[in-house]
Structure 1
Amino acid sequence: MTAHRLRALFAPLLIVLVVGVLSACASSPRPVAAGEAAALRVMTFNVRYASPNDGVNLWENRRALTLKTIVDQQPDLIGMQELLLGQATWLDQQLPHHAWFGKGRNGNEVDGNGNEHMGLFYDTRRLTLLRQGDFWYSETPDVPGSANFDGPMPRMATWGEFEDTRNGKRFFLFNTHLPHTDAAEALRERCARLLLARIRQLAGDAPVVVTGDFNAHPDGPTHKLLTAQLSDAWEQAPQRSGPEKTAHAFTGNPDARIDWVLFRQFGIRSVHSVDDHEGPLYPSDHYPVVAELTWL
């Protein structure tokens, strides 16, 4: 039997073995260091939708690495963008102590390339979900799939209210993906205003975290609008590591910091981006960002 045929025979078994080991690791809670009990680990992660046109970067080729990235970081909460239903279902099966929720931006649960979810994964050992919801960036934000903010496609946010089982404190997380292209800055600002209005309406004065791919530069008007009321973890953290820029198109050479963790009424201990890869293979075309937030 040739070496090529042997590799073809055993490659699927190796993938199953790796995923099995990672799933077992996912069932073990991250050790809590002294003085760390109050820290809340929040990840924002644009996982890149499962496009059939991605060549070597097909979801099937990188999903085990995506899982490994999550397991290694052990986040309490993950705000994902570009998440298709099939991707969410697979990750949910591999992360036994996490639950997830989210709706397709088209207003249905068809598993297609255009129907991304603002999926929120949370560790059920640490957090209890109290309520959840979605809204769309449109004149009718409560109408699923609505897109009349002059954008070419529906854009939305998914939110949840959580209780920290370690101390009984409650907070909200909002997860979103704003329109892309430089020409869409005015549209992003309009979306940001609606996001802030919904935060006021839903969360009141409660602590809030916002995760997302904002497709905006940190020195631009959308960032300025949001950070007038929220803090940017990357700008405020006393400890930072990893590349500052996050969007890299599967090259490992990022050119923009568009993936943010924003917050209010939390302290910030540290923030880092995750540039893990296996040779030329990356878990996504964005680096995830992890912030350690502390209760005030």
Structure 2
Amino acid sequence: MRGPLGIGRSLCVLGLAIALALPGLAAAAAPVAAANAAAVSEPGMSMVTFNLHHDREDWPSRRRTIVAELKRLQPDAIALQEVIQKRNVRNQAQWLASQLGYRYVFVSTDPVGAPKRYGNALLTRRPILARSEHLLLPLDDYRTVAHLRIDVDGKPVNVYATHLNERSDDAGQRIRRSQVEDLLRFIAGSAAGAPVVIAGDFNALVDAGDLSELRSHYGDSYGSVHVNTDLAGVSTLNRHYYQAPSRIDHIFFQQDEMVAREAKILFDQPDDGGRWASDHYGVWTRLQFAPAN
């Protein structure tokens, strides 16, 4: 899907062509061209979030598709959910990081050395300035947050990866609300004043009441880019597996510090053999640092 920036480039070219044909419009076209050039050159970062579906359905084949797309995109940070390591299955985040040349952190409630560990991960190609992790309340739901502070061209940015409770009933909504509150407390204690990006599988629509406190602090990158799109039809649950569209995988960003410029859905087509990368689609977004006031 093309974001506003791609449309802006097309309009810029069209505007310059008209200016050449009609000299009187040249003065108006020049500021448009300058504004678009500034938008492209403004520093920032890109990020992906993706639920790996752990090792189900032929992981050795699926991972080839995943790593090829991530190599093409070269995102600054990658949030992964449903990451597993067990006998005969190397930690999936570790494997992907080795293929991409990235560093990674993996967070699990399963103790180090356990025969099976399951959790969330963050990968980055940027220098790591700080790292931390957190077990979300309630502790009996076994949910975690991974955190990295990375250096993006000399500017620190906090990235967080999480995966909230999956229940669709009232109890699930209460648990997710509690997890969001705890997540925000953890961010407040770990961000050290640097911009914040939060990615993951939230198991909730972006406008759900469970996420209202999160949305009061952070913007939805995909929704910010696709403001004129019927978002009700957009899904991050793979429609091959799930009947109804549901956008539950999100990348949130700190709106006073960053601006969402592009966003698209990843892994929404099967490979040549008809195999899907996961039972979720991924989300990619490009963020720019907000101009200084």
**Of residues 267, 289, 293 in structure 2, which corresponds to 1:295?**
289
Larger radius of gyration: 2
For these two proteins, the number of residue pairs brought into alignment is 240
- Which aligned runs of 4 or more in structure 1 are off by greater than 6 angstroms? 239-243
Query: How does 1:224-235 map onto structure 2 within 5 Å?
Result: 224-235=212-223
Unaligned runs of 5+ in 2: 1-37
1:213 aligned residue: 201
Residue 248 of structure 1 pairs with residue 238 of structure 2? yes
**Of residues 16, 41, 55 in structure 1, which corresponds to 2:46?**
41
Quote the offset at 1:251 in angstroms: 3.8
Greater strand fraction, Structure 1 or Structure 2: 2
1:104 aligned residue: 108
* CA distance in 2: counterparts of 1:249 and 1:92, whole angstroms: 28
Residue 273 of structure 1 pairs with residue 272 of structure 2? no
Q: TM-score, normalised by structure 1?
A: 0.74
Shifted more, 270-279 versus 252-261: the winner is 252-261
Relative to structure 1, the CA distance from residue 173 to residue 224 in structure 2 (aligned partners, 3 Å threshold; closer, same or farther) is same
* CA distance in 2: counterparts of 1:251 and 1:195, whole angstroms: 29
Tell me the secondary structure at the aligned position of residue 40 of structure 2.
Answer: coil
Relative to structure 1, the CA distance from residue 230 to residue 110 in structure 2 (aligned partners, 3 Å threshold; closer, same or farther) is same
Tell me the secondary structure at the aligned position of residue 123 of structure 2.
Answer: strand
- Considering only aligned residues, what root-mean-square deviation do their CA atoms show, in Å? 2.4
Relative to structure 1, the CA distance from residue 187 to residue 66 in structure 2 (aligned partners, 3 Å threshold; closer, same or farther) is same
* CA distance in 2: counterparts of 1:249 and 1:110, whole angstroms: 34
Quote the offset at 1:276 in angstroms: 3.5
Relative to structure 1, the CA distance from residue 84 to residue 36 in structure 2 (aligned partners, 3 Å threshold; closer, same or farther) is farther
Provide the identity percentage. Answer: 24
Kindly indicate whether the alpha-carbon contact (under 8 Å) linking 1:250 and 1:286 is maintained by their aligned counterparts in 2: no
Q: Deviations over 1:129-173 (max 9, x none)?
A: 01111111136xxxxxxx24xx3xx11101011111x2x111111
Q: TM-score, normalised by structure 2?
A: 0.75
Q: Deviations over 1:239-291 (max 9, x none)?
A: 89997210127548662111000010211101111114214211111111001
Query: How does 1:20-99 map onto structure 2 within 5 Å?
Result: 35-36=40-41, 38-51=43-56, 57-85=57-85, 86=90, 87-96=92-101, 98-99=102-103
Residue 136 of structure 1 pairs with residue 126 of structure 2? no
* CA distance in 1: counterparts of 2:115 and 2:80, whole angstroms: 16
